[in-house]
Amino acid sequence: MTRRIIYTSISLLLAVIIAALVGAFLSYLPKYYRLNHFGVQTQGTVISKEKENHQFIGVEYEVDNNKFKVKGNAEDFGKVFFTVNLNEKVPVTYNPYAPEESCLGNPEQQLNESIIGTCFVSTFPIIVFLVYLIRKKISQN
């Protein structure tokens, strides 16, 4: 019985770790971590507004005479979609070691959302395991 509990515990722990890793990469946690810790802020120019595509805002920014593009939401820099105009200057944070890696505004909010998403996804194995135990207990009665 003790061996079974140990194997089950290890399996559950591995499942939580794998789910956390998957959640981290699905929510871009490493990207927002790097941007939050190493990011440099610059100004970009709004080049597109995509109302039908989750109200994305397309922004172009320049680093060392190279142009890059990023998409995000107006809320990322404290505005509402309909108040943003084409050719408006907006804040962009980019990774100085990989300037193509960027986000609109301050990456701290996206980092916090990624952490929450990762925590949420990592709870799935625990929930599945608890449901399994409950169903097993009910079927035994």
* Side-chain-facing half-sphere of 32: CA atoms under 13 Å: 22
| Residues 60 and 71 grouped into a single domain | yes
* Side-chain-facing half-sphere of 61: CA atoms under 13 Å: 26
What is the enclosing helix (H) or strand (E) of 25?
helix 2-26
| Domain that includes residue 67, residue range | 40-106
Rounded to whole angstroms, the Cα distance separating 130 from 113 reads 26
| Residues 29 and 58 grouped into a single domain | no
Which residues, 6+ apart, have CB-to-CB distance to 78 below 8 Å?
105
Question: At how many degrees (to 10) do helices 2-26 and 29-38 cross?
Answer: 60
For a pLDDT cut of 70, what percent of the chain falls above it? 99
Q: Are 58 and 102 in contact (CB under 8 A)?
A: no
Give the pLDDT band (50/70/90) at residue 1.
low
| pLDDT in the model for residue 2 | 86
pLDDT tens digit sequence for 25-55: 999 999 999 999 999 999 999 999 999 999 9
pLDDT tens digit sequence for 7-26: 988 999 999 999 999 999 99
| Residues 134 and 92 grouped into a single domain | no
Q: Is 68 exposed, middle or buried (0-12, 13-18, 19+ CB in 10 A)?
A: middle
| Residues 48 and 96 grouped into a single domain | yes
| Residues 128 and 101 grouped into a single domain | no
